[in-house]
Structure 1
Amino acid sequence: MPTNLSIKKLSFTMILLYGIVFFSPFLFKPFSRDIMISATTVTYILGAVLMIWLYFKNKKTANTLVEQEAKLTSPVFTLLLGFSGIFIAMIIQAIVFSIETTITGAKPSSENTQNIIAVILANPLFILATTIGGPIMEEFVFRRSLIGLTEAYTGFWISAIISSSLFSVIHQDGHFFVYFFMGFFFAVLYKMTGKIWTSIIAHCGMNTLVVIAQLMLHYGNIELPK
């Protein structure tokens, strides 16, 4: 009886796990707000830890085409592209956000980010979910799992478009192209090194900087120009 999963089975397992974690807050609604936030945070961290464990446990049998065909596989490139990707991602986010709001006339703010900051202000522990747990799970699901499942049928670029579209939709923010291009950029980072850790570093780092910036604006009573 085999003890390791194929990339297809592993991908479906991670997607199912992400779905359970994503909808877990509904299970905690009957409890107080603090308990709900704390329980959700723990669930996100446990979900991320479980995905990391599944990744290493099945590393020999569950490889994606991206990982098999990657050229820049050295840990040096993983770190360089991962950390430089933090700042490139923020630049891309700012540019696309500016273009999107100019064209569509949407509000110059992210409802998703504001909601997250409000939760963090109520319970600082939630920072762990937004800067570590959430990004790690999203990279394993939207980059590694979805691309791993579809790339053989569509090719990488179409697969990246599909996963980036779903990544944007799941955030329910109203700024589709902002999250789409962020997801697409993370997919490119993953493709360049064949290491999911590259996009994880960039994603976690970007979320951390965004949270820090928003908290500084809040506690400094600073208002962004309209």
Structure 2
Amino acid sequence: MNEKKYSFITIFTYGLVLFSPLLFLRVFQASSSQIIQLTTLSYFIGAVLMIFYRIKSQSFELEGRKKSLLISILIGIVGIPASLLLQMLILQIEQRLLGQSVASQNTQNIVQLIMNNMIFILATTIAGPIMEEFVFRRAIFGSLEKRFGFILPALLSSVLFAFAHNDGHYLLYAGLGFLFCGMYRYSGRIWTSMITHVGMNLLVILTQLALQS
């Protein structure tokens, strides 16, 4: 599978998964609990499909410069506290300079859904980050990096990543997206930024659940 076909089918699959709750509601007349369960299932199907697309696709140029597996894993693990520190720093900037609330509406909505049905935690901490890394880092940034270098593709990928979350914290998500792009390019492995993204989401969600409790 060439780069263009890979990028298109990955982004298309992501779009289908995002709009799946509307399908479950309008076509199947599912209840709220059923929608959460079906959405979680669609997230995992989407993640598995994207892993399959990755296996079938050609390697991008930046992936030809990949670090060893051990180094890549270590970078991903170290990236978890680094991403949390970056998150706190950007939230302070948003609060002090832009007057934004530290609370993320997107995170609060996710936490509420998880409290209604705990199975949704699997979608937000595992399947969701996996899909987002394949879409925003590999399909968008990775496919453009060879032609345009690092900065422009990373900015485009990060801005789209921020708008996809759509809760007003655009600087926060763009900053995190830029970090993930850097990790992916440095290691040459999409799994590196994926480890960080999954770990970060898991810690943030568990912390919020603990506070809610």
Counterpart code for 1:93: Q
- The alignment of Structure 1 onto Structure 2 pairs a total of residues equal to 210
- The one-letter code matched in structure 1 to 2:205 is V
SS in 1 for 2:119: helix
The answer for the alignment partner of 1:121 in structure 2 is 115
Q: 7, 10, 19: which one pairs with 1:14?
A: 10
CA distance in 2, matches of 1:114, 1:214: 8
> Displacement of 1:169 after TM fit?
0.4
| 1:59-115 deviations in Å (ceiling 9; x for gaps) | xxx111221234xx1011111100110110000001001111111111220000000
Match of residue 131 from structure 2: 137
2:159 pairs, out of 165, 175, 180, with: 165
Q: Post-superposition shift, 1:22?
A: 1.0
TM-score by length of 2: 0.96
2:187 counterpart of 1:193: yes
Letter in 1 for 2:55: F
Aligned residues of 1:8 and 1:148 also touching (Cα < 8 A): no
Higher relative helix content? 2
Task: Name the amino acid aligned to 2:42.
Answer: T
Tell me the equivalent position of 1:214. 208
Distance of 1:106 and 1:127 partners within structure 2: 27
Checking the alignment, whether the CA contact within 8 Å between 2:159 and 2:174 is kept in structure 1 is: yes
Letter of the 1:151 partner, please give it. E
> 1:8: how far off?
1.7
Q: CA deviation at 1:150?
A: 2.0
- Distance in 2 between residues matched to 1:100 and 1:149, nearest whole Å: 31
> How big is each residue's C-alpha offset from its partner over 1:103-159, in whole Å with a ceiling of 9 and x where there is no partner?
111122000000000000000000010001100000001000101332233212210
Q: Which amino acid aligns with 2:20?
A: S
- Which residue does the alignment assign to 1:150? 144
Which of these residues, 172, 178, 195, is aligned with residue 178 of structure 1? 172
1:102 to 83, 88, 96: 96
**Letter in structure 2 aligned against 1:49:** V
Residue ranges of structure 2 left out of the alignment (5+ in a row): none
Root-mean-square deviation (Å)? 1.0
User: Identity of paired residues, percent?
Assistant: 45
Deviations 1:171-192, CA, capped at 9 Å, x for gaps: 0010110000000001111011
Cα distance in 2 between the residues matched to 1:35 and 1:19: 20
Q: Normalized against structure 1, the TM-score is what?
A: 0.90
Q: Is the 8 A contact 1:7 1:148 kept in 2?
A: no
Any stretches of 5+ residues in structure 1 without a counterpart? 220-226
Q: 1:222 matched to which residue of 2?
A: none
Residue 55 of structure 1 aligns with which residue?
A: 54
Q: Please say if 1:41 is aligned against 2:40.
A: yes
Q: Distance in 1 between matches of 2:149 and 2:186?
A: 15
- The amino acid of 1:36's aligned partner reads I
> Hey, what does 1:31 align to over in structure 2?
30
